[in-house]
Amino acid sequence: MHLYTLTRGIKDRVDATINDLQAINLTQMNYDAKTKKKVNTYFQLQVRPVQLFEFVFPREHLNFMLSTLNYRDNNPNMNNLNSKFAVLRKMLKLKKIPELDYSKIPRQLIRKSHVAFHHIGTKEDLDNEQGIELL
């Protein structure tokens, strides 16, 4: 059984809650091949994050951030998700990410091993009377 939920809260509190959940052991019926009988075994609750992050930064750094997060507008692995992301983009009132060659833009090296980023869209901030972006 898979239960999907959205979480929202202060990150260290959410992390503490997740740690508590990961400590839960449940019983599971398995088949013992030696005795040819069903036996109860223990199963540790698996918590698999599917997270939506909002990264907030000054608008002039959009290309840098997309390059850092390895954005590619023509990623063939994303073809089956693009329509679903369009719906999510509409729900969140986001704009489609601009198409550029991000491979030629400087980037910050970050640890991304075994981490996937699926980019959904962007949202502009308002400017105050002096033209300063309100983050």
Residues 24 and 78 in one domain: no
Kindly indicate the confidence band of residue 71, based on its pLDDT and cuts at 50, 70 and 90. low
How many other CB atoms are there within 10 angstroms of residue 53's CB atom?
8
Residues 60 and 113 in one domain: yes
Residues 41 and 73 in one domain: no
**CA–CA separation, 121 and 88 (whole Å):** 9
Residues 65 and 43 in one domain: no
Mean per-residue pLDDT of the chain: 82
Residues 60 and 123 in one domain: yes
Residues 88 and 129 in one domain: yes
Structural domain count of the chain: 2
3 state SS for 95-130:
ECCCCCCHHHCCCCCCCCCCCCCCCCCECCCCECCC
Residue 88: per-residue pLDDT: 87
Residues 40 and 75 in one domain: no
Q: Of the spans 9-13, 86-90, 101-105, which averages the highest pLDDT?
A: 86-90
Please give the residue range of the domain that contains residue 15: 1-51
- The two tokens of residue 26 are 């449940």
Assess whether pLDDT exceeds 80 at residue 79: no
